[in-house]
Structure 1
Amino acid sequence: MKDEGTNWAETTQKMEKSGGVSIRTTILKKNNMIGLLSLKTAAIGGIICRYDPREPKPAMQVYDDPEKAEEWFIKSLKTSQQNGWRIVYDGLPLHG
């Protein structure tokens, strides 16, 4: 995992240029709150983005290894469920 100072926009552009990009978006609900956990992977790495309405801004982690990114995404999703979050949507990003 890279540190938080990593330029995520640059990393995203590199991932898209490398081809084979996969995106998974999970919308979560707890009480009256809506959260988001998203995973974007390519051969060169992965990015996990988490939006928690209790935090002032979204959090993002960049990984050099797409398998590690997916592993941590699954762990984060399981932890969220254990903490009372319910999955409302899990799949491709919604457009339109």
Structure 2
Amino acid sequence: MNLRAIVYASEAIPGLSNGRIHDLAQSACRFNLQAGVTGVLLYDGRRFFHYLEGPEDGMAIVYARVLAARIRTSTTTARPGCPLMLEIA
């Protein structure tokens, strides 16, 4: 089994409530478990930073779901072997 990892950062849509984030995180947790994917999601009230890893087929499904979610205005994905640089304000 080939494993894959993805790291991305994104800007949250304005007015995203903590309750909605909690609900989405719970749903994603259940979905990711079924796909064999695990990771870490950080949120600072404005931006998300997400690390995901798992089998290639599970990652394809999970990352497509991530990109389709309407909770962010932009997403920057790190290329393999390249760091993802974020400005911390």
With the shorter chain as reference, the TM-score category is: 0.3 to 0.5
Question: Normalization by structure 1: what TM-score?
Answer: 0.37
Hey, which of these two has a bigger chunk of helix by percent? 2
- Of the two structures, which has the highest relative contact order with CA contacts closer than 8 Å and spacing of 6 or more? 2
Question: Normalization by structure 2: what TM-score?
Answer: 0.39
